[in-house]
Structure 1
Amino acid sequence: MVIKVTAGLDAPERCNQAFTVAAAALASGVPVSLWLTGEASWFGLPGRAKEFSLPEAVPLTDLLDAVLAGGRVTVCTQCAARRSITPGDLIDGVRIAGAPTFVEEALAEGAQALVY
């Protein structure tokens, strides 16, 4: 499953839903690639997920940790550049990659892509 989250603190419910679905898919044994784009790009940096709060939701740090432990997390190349985020800024295990990689993952045999 390839999940692209385009929202961050600007749309907390949509953001949290993407992370929740990613963690639930992993818990169900589904391979997951979570793409952080737009304002969600900030969650690829240490400590940023701790700033996120949504009532009645699992803490974003827990969801991100679950995805990092069992899946792949990617920050969009252009989104990172617009925010001056470099590979050295990222949480261990998070990578920067661009549209060709997203397309390759989304079109892989058996893949399901979701965008939040």
Structure 2
Amino acid sequence: MARPLVLKVTCGAEDAERCNQGFTVAAAAAASGADVSLWLTGEAAWFGVPGRAEEFALDLATPLEALMAAVLTSGTITVCSQCAARRGIVADDLREGVRIAGAAVFAEQVLGEGVQALVY
């Protein structure tokens, strides 16, 4: 069994390749059976809002909404609480299955036994 993966995406469309890479790795890990926790911070926080992932486009890349759906089949997607607050995003604004949480939850996850943490 794969070890848990906590992955943080810190950018949005302004750095499309790096952003897409983070989502792709999270979805691939989920598909391989890993327990995945995907965190959306900075401009990536917008992808927690319905319609925003669907607006993202990158040639030859799987659409973000499909990658998010893959993660949500067995993992979680979380929007950083401070990032959400700075952008005026509240829990009622989020797509189904996405939550808001803060640094304490992130720290608890990355400090767990056997966890692999990645930041994009």
TM-score, length basis structure 2: 0.95
- Which position in structure 2 is the counterpart of 1:9? 13
Task: Quote the residue 2:116 is aligned against.
Answer: 112
For 1:90 and 1:61, the matched residues in 2 are separated by 13
Matched, 1:101 2:105: yes
Distance 2:100 2:66 in 1: 21
Provide the C-alpha distance between the structure 1 equivalents of 2:22 and 2:93, rounded to a whole number of angstroms.
23
Q: TM-score, normalised by structure 1?
A: 0.98
Which residue is equivalent to 1:56? 60
- In structure 2, distance between residues paired with 1:15 and 1:71: 18
Q: CA deviation at 1:7?
A: 0.6
Matched with 2:45 is 41
Q: Offset of 1:68 from its aligned partner?
A: 1.6
Q: Which residue of 1 aligns with 2:88?
A: 84
Question: In 2, Cα distance between the equivalents of 1:111 and 1:97?
Answer: 19
- Number of residue-to-residue matches in the alignment: 116
| CA RMSD across the alignment | 0.6
In 1, the alpha carbon distance for the partners of 2:74 and 2:17 equals: 23
**Shift of residue 47, structure 1, vs aligned partner:** 0.8
Gaps of 5+ in 2: none
Q: Give identity over the alignment, percent.
A: 66
Separation in 2 of the partners of 1:97 and 1:56? 32
1:16-70 residue CA offsets vs partner (Å, 9 max, x unmatched): 0000000000111110000000000000000110100000111111101111222
Give structure 1 regions of 4+ aligned residues with deviation exceeding 2 angstroms. none
Structure 2 CA distance, aligned partners of 1:79 and 1:12? 19
